[in-house]
Amino acid sequence: MQQGSNTTLEFTLLKQGTTEQAPVKDLYFSVLDLTSNKNEPKQTQTVELSGPSEVFNGNAVSETVENGKYKFVSLRGGDETDNPVDLDKLTDVALSSTVSLRYADTYTWTVTLSVQGDDPYGRNFFIGGASQLKPSCDAKPR
């Protein structure tokens, strides 16, 4: 994602082959590799969202909550050499910059990703399901 920009993603679960919403009892969603540029610490990555039932974040991610809205900001520098490879086998460094969330009884959630800074280079976000911060669950549609 380009520095100095943001994007909002809305995720919706639907029953296969239909437009019918498919709520699940428990759903885990993770954003990994929240880091700043090692050489430019002001180029931080931020994740904002509402509504999780539980939040699990690594020790290199700050968490603030205001009016039910969560904001996570990267606290460590990183580069492509420490990017996550496997959600179930994260290194300690990758784990430290991961946020995992549990949503209960939902079919939709919204996440805003942003990158601060003004250089022409961007930053990567990795998105996945359950991570080592919280074990996998058996999410089944109701």
Res 64 pLDDT > 50: yes
CB burial readout 32-47, b (16+ within 10 A) else e? bbbbbbeeeeebbbbb
So what's the pLDDT on residue 141? 37
* 2-20 tens-digit pLDDT: 889 999 999 999 999 999 9
Q: CA 23, CA 43: separation in Å to the nearest integer?
A: 36
So what's the pLDDT on residue 78? 87
Mean pLDDT of the chain: 87
Domain definitions of the chain by residue range: 5-13+26-128
Q: CA 39, CA 122: separation in Å to the nearest integer?
A: 13
Residue 94 near residue 33, CB atoms below 8 Å: yes
Q: CA 64, CA 44: separation in Å to the nearest integer?
A: 15
Residue with tokens 């490879």: 85
Structure tokens, 13:
């679960």
- Whether the pTM exceeds 0.75: the reply is yes
